[in-house]
Amino acid sequence: MNKQLLAGAVASFALVAAPAALLAQKDAPQVQLSLNKAEQRVDITVDGKPFTSYIWPTTLKKPVLFPLRSAAGTELTRGFPPRPGERADHPHHVGLWFNYGDVGGVDFWNNSDATAGKPKMGTIVQTGVTHLQNGKGQGELDVTTDWINDDDKSVMLKESTRLVFRAVGDARIIDRISTLTAATKPVTFGDSKEGMYGMRLRRQLEMPVKGPAEFTDASGKVTKVAQLDNTGVTGNYLTSEGKEGGAAWGTRSNWCALTGTVDNEEVTIVVFDHPGNPNHPAYWHARDYGLFAVNPLGAHGYDPKQPEAHFTIDAGKSQRFVFRVLLLHGKPTAAELEARYKDFTKDLQ
């Protein structure tokens, strides 16, 4: 291992020291990561049971984690392709992903096979799996990617990411520590609501909506949905600032939680925005139709009263982004989530 890689590994390890709750487990489950290069995936299991998979098939324009499962094994993300009865809008919404809608004028968020030939689109290309580690209660995966401008095939950003998968009781935890480095030129992130760390969830975790709905994807294709059947649709948002339901969208807070019932299991999905991220606390792109994303770089796109946000990484310089996704059984109180947020800020400093 060269000195630069060793230094990066040491720095990353310092970020992911095991939390007290994990260390306190007497019989922590085994978290196992299995790389299958031929199928372009890394499967993550807990005591042999599927948790999620890191995948980078050629049919996607970025690597994603898919599907996400609760500790009980309940699948929480929309199907890929969507299951019967699920909405088929926004084909770029797959699993849990990390990208942005305006990177030097290039759109990495909306890209999918539906945008083939459309200018100013970008693709995040997997370039390597540099570290795999299994363990009691915790497993780690380090990967590298290139953010490529589809028009001229230039590399705009080089990404180095550590994903940490934890199993603590009936909780599942995913920490993401991503470092973006501007390749040869400065890269400016424009103001866009389309960002940055997001997931698309099952129909049951959407919010009940009355009346017909219409969805337009990046290619301009409109999907019309007649009167929706809200049977079993139970999702509801809550932010650290007390915003609930549809009022959570476009607001800023330390964390946002989505609670609902899927296949008879009450679950809560929480996303934490790290205080060290740019423009903390972040905005929440939390939609009633199952899109749940945290965005530290947008502003005017959510609140027209705010000036446009512009964030630049100079050539050769880097910016780190840190997030936690927490999958819980049941419905925790706001106070319990606040305590978990404080643990997050201690675990990843």
DSSP summary character for residue 9: H
User: Which CATH number is 15's domain given?
Assistant: 2.70.98
Structural domain span for residue 135:
3-347
Distance between CA 344 and CA 274 in Å, rounded?
A: 8
Q: How many domains is the chain partitioned into structurally?
A: 1
Percent of the chain topping pLDDT 90: 82
Query: Looking at 87-91, 137-141, 224-228, which range is the least confident one?
Result: 224-228
Task: Say what the pLDDT of residue 8 is.
Answer: 39
pLDDT at 74 over 50: yes
Peptide bond into 82 cis (omega under 30): no
Sheet holding 64-65, edge to edge: 135-136, 30-36, 41-46, 49-55, 64-65, 96-100, 195-200, 291-295, 283-286
What are 23's strand-pairing partners? none
Q: Is the pLDDT of residue 344 over 70?
A: yes
Q: Per-residue pLDDT tens for 185-236?
A: 999 999 999 999 999 999 999 999 887 776 655 455 677 777 778 899 999 9
Which residue in the block uniquely carries the two structure tokens 């520590």? Answer: 177
Q: Which amino acid is at 45?
A: T
Is the torsion defined by CA of 174, 65, 297, 180 positive or negative? positive
- Tokens 């580690």 label which residue? 133
Give the lowest-confidence range in 4-13, 84-93, 201-210: 4-13
Average pLDDT, the chain: 91
- Joined together, the tokens standing for residue 342 give 């404080």
pLDDT at position 126 is 98
CA gap 205, 249 in Å, rounded: 16
Decide: 206 and 288 in contact? Cβ < 8 Å. yes
pLDDT score for 24: 52
Measured CA distances, 80 to 124, 229, 234, 298 (Å): 18, 21, 22, 28
Residue pointed to by tokens 């060793």:
6
Tokens of 304: 């027209």
**6 vs 316, residue with greater confidence:** 316
For residue 317, which phi and psi values (nearest 5 degrees)?
Answer: -95, 165
Q: Max alpha carbon distance in the chain (Å)?
A: 60
Predicted pLDDT at 3: 35
Could you count the other beta carbons within 10 Å of the beta carbon of residue 320?
15
